[in-house]
């Protein structure tokens, strides 16, 4: 899009209120850290930050109608997002082509589950309350989401997510993670849903400095660019339809 993308960073914002470790790590919130990075990138026209405490949970019709791509971080309060707002997010993706990037524990967010149609459950572990090493391997080196990213991103400490991850087969698989404990996980997954695109990206546990990692931030930015809406000139027609050729 020539004028740049309008991005909304949706951040639940609950850990930041309750957990001193998260406050210390992300003084401007997890959303604030992601937003400040995106604001500096080319092709981004605006970055709006919203949380659960924003009007209509940050998911008002006005917000959704003026968002090209939404990133979503949530964990503790998935169930507090109303079914009505979650359905609106789903519709924004399917019917209008809004891009959606569910991050980390947003695998259990209502909009993601609606868009997938599966449980989206998985194995998980916070090893010794700290975490363990993760390596994210690029498995789709021609994909725009890995532009400028090394073939392996190493995170010294991460929460483990392991297969089986109950998702529909991704249209494109971009990253597979390896964990010190032996598990693997499909950490970067792309789907098309109606007019829209969804990119799930795994890293981002709230007590670890993962959103300060340049490679991780780059993947999120690339994901935003990839998930941008595409507009067919004149729109798409779905109804009873007359032949284009003269009568025969």
- Residues in contact with Zn ion by CB under 5 A are 105, 159, 205
* Residue 48 exposed, middle or buried by CB count within 10 Å (0-12, 13-18, 19+): middle
CB closer to Zn ion, 186 vs 225: 186
Length of the chain: 248
Q: How far is the CB of 229 from Zn ion (least distance, A)?
A: 29
Nearer to Zn ion, 68 or 206 (CB): 206
Please, which residues bridge with residue 138 across strands?
175
- Residue 108 or 137: the one with the smaller Cβ distance to Zn ion is 108
Q: In angstroms, what is the minimal distance from the CB of 114 to Zn ion?
A: 21
Residues 6+ apart with CB under 8 A from 116: 167, 168, 191
* Smallest separation (angstroms) from Zn ion to the CB of 117: 23
Nearer to Zn ion, 51 or 105 (CB): 105
Using CA atoms, how far residue 10 sits from 53, 103, 124, 164, 232, in Å, is 11, 10, 23, 27, 27
What's the min distance (Å) between Cβ of 158 and Zn ion?
9
């Amino acid at each position: 899009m020539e004028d740049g993308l309008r991005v909304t960073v949706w951040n639940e914002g609950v850990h930041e209120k309750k957990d001193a470790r998260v406050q210390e790590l992300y003084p401007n919130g997890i959303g604030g850290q992601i937003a400040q990075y995106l604001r500096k990138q080319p092709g981004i026209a605006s970055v709006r930050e919203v949380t659960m405490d924003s009007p209509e949970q940050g998911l008002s019709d006005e917000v959704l109608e003026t968002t090209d791509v939404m990133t979503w971080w949530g964990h503790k309060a998935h169930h507090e997002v109303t079914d009505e707002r979650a359905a609106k997010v789903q519709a924004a993706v399917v019917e209008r082509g809004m891009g959606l990037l569910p991050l980390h524990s947003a695998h259990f967010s209502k909009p993601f589950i609606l868009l997938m149609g599966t449980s989206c459950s998985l194995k998980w572990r916070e090893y010794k309350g700290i975490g363990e090493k993760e390596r994210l391997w690029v498995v789709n080196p021609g994909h725009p989401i890995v532009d400028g990213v090394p073939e392996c991103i190493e995170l010294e400490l991460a929460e483990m997510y392991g297969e089986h991850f109950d998702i529909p087969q991704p249209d494109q698989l971009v990253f597979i993670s390896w964990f010190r404990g032996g598990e693997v996980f499909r950490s970067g997954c792309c789907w098309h849903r109606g007019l829209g695109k969804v990119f799930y990206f795994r890293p981002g546990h709230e007590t670890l400095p993962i959103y300060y990692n340049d490679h991780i931030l780059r993947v999120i930015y690339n994901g935003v660019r990839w998930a941008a809406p595409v507009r067919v000139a004149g729109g798409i027609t779905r109804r009873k339809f007359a032949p284009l050729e003269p009568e025969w």
